[in-house]
């Protein structure tokens, strides 16, 4: 293959060009995509997890300084229970992928030694947040203010 055929416009190699296109495509799918809907509904299937694992495997190396820094920042933002659950999930997945451990025997976060408590909630969870509206005080407070006390005279009762 000649050098001319492997060079794209602007002097980029075919590899650089494809890498940029794939990075943009993946970024859109990961950040903007269907993930939010699946996370909010909780309807995640095995194929979804496999897709995420394949995306991770095809991504940049964790030895890359920027990636490593991003990972460190992410881990520092997690609570201890979240870190423990993540580590346990990854341990179980690595047992299945590398050693061939059957899925039902692989490590789970709820099992020892991690013993992370997790609750599976059925169906879609709704979170309602009532906004806290702060109204500006009116400029003509005396004109618009209603009296707090009812000062109207009582109704006269008459005998029939």
Q: What is the pLDDT along the chain (160 residues), one digit of tens a residue?
A: 444 445 555 666 766 776 676 666 666 666 556 777 777 777 888 998 888 888 888 888 889 999 999 999 999 998 888 888 888 889 899 999 999 889 888 888 777 666 667 665 555 555 555 666 666 666 555 555 566 777 788 788 787 6
CA-to-CA dists, residue 7 to 11, 17, 19, angstroms: 6, 9, 14
Q: Which two tokens stand for residue 19?
A: 């890498």
pLDDT value of position 2 = 45
pLDDT of residue 74: 92
What does the alpha-carbon distance between residue 131 and residue 129 come to, in Å, rounded to a whole number?
Answer: 6
pLDDT at 133: 62
Note the pLDDT of residue 141: 54
pLDDT, residue 60, reads 87
Q: What is the largest CA-CA distance in the chain?
A: 116
What's the pLDDT at 63?
Answer: 92
Enter the pTM of the model.
0.52
pLDDT on residue 156: 80
C-alpha span between 17 and 24 (Å, rounded): 11
């Amino acid at each position: 293959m000649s050098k001319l055929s492997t060079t794209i416009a602007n002097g980029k190699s075919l590899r650089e060009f494809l890498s940029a296109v794939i990075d943009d495509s993946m970024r859109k799918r990961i950040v903007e995509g269907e993930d939010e809907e699946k996370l909010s509904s909780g309807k995640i299937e095995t194929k979804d997890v496999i897709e995420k694992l394949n995306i991770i495997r095809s991504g940049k190396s964790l030895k890359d300084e920027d990636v490593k820094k991003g990972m460190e920042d992410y881990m520092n933002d997690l609570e201890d229970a979240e870190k423990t659950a993540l580590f346990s999930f990854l341990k179980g997945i690595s047992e299945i992928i590398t050693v061939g451990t059957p899925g039902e025997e692989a490590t789970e976060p709820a099992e020892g030694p991690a013993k992370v408590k997790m609750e599976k909630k059925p169906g879609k969870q709704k979170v309602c947040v009532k906004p806290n509206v702060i109204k500006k005080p009116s400029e003509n407070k005396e004109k618009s203010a209603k009296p707090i006390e009812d000062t109207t005279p009582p109704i006269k009762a008459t005998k029939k």
